[in-house]
Structure 1
């Protein structure tokens, strides 16, 4: 029996400043409609999430693809993942550099290799093999991201000078930027297939080689036709510790609605590891869940040609899809 298609996306859960608020909302509205049009034309859930995430990777408002932040060495290292709920096949890349759309490279890993995750130089070598579109670092990084990196690196240098070379604990405890601009999407197609995709440029001034939750199956997301799909965003280390996405699908498998499962899992993460974040969720019947424990999260979803979107707690604006 044919299913009613639905897609839900997020543009990151963090303290989104007013200067980025409108752009973030417009970005998720566009991404959700792009993905929904794919579903409406008979495209698969995998097709829809890839196109929705690509839309956000191409938008410099978000920390994914174009707009990615710089690591401590002043380089861009991006992570992305995609998963097909039909057979649990997945593909991911980590610490990949100079790739315009990491989500598409992740899909190539899923469809053209026997692996689930390829990182670093290996990921870039694979990108050459599949002719992935590349961009120089200066075209991936916005002026805002560069200024943020410069300020944070100044702060780190100043604090480090206060300690002796043996004070490694204090050095490592220097705070990083609070932004968590990971983008993601979950979709259900007319055939009843569910997929998710997540993509990120990581955290400003992160250690080179750092990978958070985003490309890790069960943490950055999960999709299973028999249960539902999840894409997560927020503090990557916390999300990875509690396997947030798999936790939510497990709760739904036990009978919870997507909304209750989302709230329950994020509350657990806050109590267990003192981490904050956000999620967008679908179950196998196309019911949605969305929740965040940060100040804001840009989100949008489309079903029956009606687009819903919001940014602040309690918001839910709706309009017809044009």
Structure 2
């Protein structure tokens, strides 16, 4: 059974999908699938089964894996991208060549189980802060080579992407402040070097918060603030002539997430969305799904 999203397009990164799939199939199949070659190369059916509650994510990667090996394969999705499904849900029905279905199986499942896990975790965190106005952000703590895929999965789960990499947002941390000599000097240097890019400044004290607000930036990251200091940071920011969005990070877990959001921060960045991935249990089986009794 599935519930939830009717959205089919979360803006998947199509160029990345093609690259990801090409790498995955190359590393898995290599010079040829010697085991699938034992099967008769005849038309067959298969079905994709989800064995636990999850948010479905990864359809573009799954489809691309199978179509790369059999352009004529038919994939009839029974659920939409972003749907919440329960254990035992048949996600898709496939018709294609038996060898191709088997050869694409592992790569297609690897993408689906990893991206569904990321989307499912993100959805849990988004639900935990529902009604507070706080947004859940990801980080750059992604599986190497799957940055765009996992950030796509965060969007499917209802989260918001932080910077994609080191090129699209300037983010000042303690090392930059140390090198520049002061927070003010670091901000001025960043604005001079990259005037068109968003500027995020990480602060470790309320004094640095006030300094960043006075000099000016686009967002302030309050890192590892305790509850009292975090609430004071929210008060200081709200009272300032030029308040900016506040982002909380550091030591965030699901149990304490809502309390952080209720302190009044605008967003919370969580590396665990993409770093602590526990794959969703999926399987692809030849044949037709069993009929419910």
TM class by smaller structure: under 0.3
Computing the radius of gyration over CA atoms, which structure comes out larger, 1 or 2?
A: 2
Q: Tell me the TM-score normalised to structure 1 length.
A: 0.24
If each structure's strand is expressed as a fraction of its own residues, which one has the higher value? 1
If each structure's helix is expressed as a fraction of its own residues, which one has the higher value? 2
Q: Tell me the TM-score normalised to structure 2 length.
A: 0.25
